[in-house]
Amino acid sequence: MTVQKDNHIDPNTKARWGFSGDAGEITVGPQTVGETGGVDHARSRIAEGGGRNNGGGAEPSREALQLDAVNALAADLEAGVLNPVEGDGPAVRLYQALSGIQQSMQGLADARDAAVSKSDELQKQVDDLLAQAEKARQSALADPLDELTVVQIKEQLDAKGVTYKVNDSKPELLALLKANQ
């Protein structure tokens, strides 16, 4: 059976997606789909700037303008900049959402920087306290007799009645003093 091309759809003889030839049979194919305005029409995009069924075409559609604004916003974001957009479409809502995210991220970065600064200050305090503790531990371990001069050691030996040679060195005198403690 040969299908003749016509310019209108008669609901009694044609289905939206095919041609009804015999009773109970529906034939669907490239010719019938194209004739009925099915897939070819449903998937074809209307040219940029063209109006829809209004006889116009010189002015861009609202959707085209909104898409242009979203594309401009995306291009700015790819360049690392968040510039304000005009209008009231989806680009403005995206800009507002992204601005909120950007402000939140800046707040988090500021809080992180403050925490790092405080951490550095605390680490300096800990290092100072550890140095003081080490110094105190070293001084506690040191024998106070080791800090005495030769004259002081001789005075203490004389007070205890210990005899020593006049030409003894400090370590020898110190050993005598420690032995007689």
Structural domain boundaries of the chain? 1-47, 143-179
8 Å CB contact between 102 and 82? yes
41 burial level (CB within 10 Å; 0-12, 13-18, 19+): exposed
Q: Which is more confident, 127 or 9?
A: 127
Q: What is the pTM of this model?
A: 0.41
pLDDT digits (tens, 9 = 90+) for 17-57: 445 556 666 555 544 444 444 444 444 455 554 555 555 55
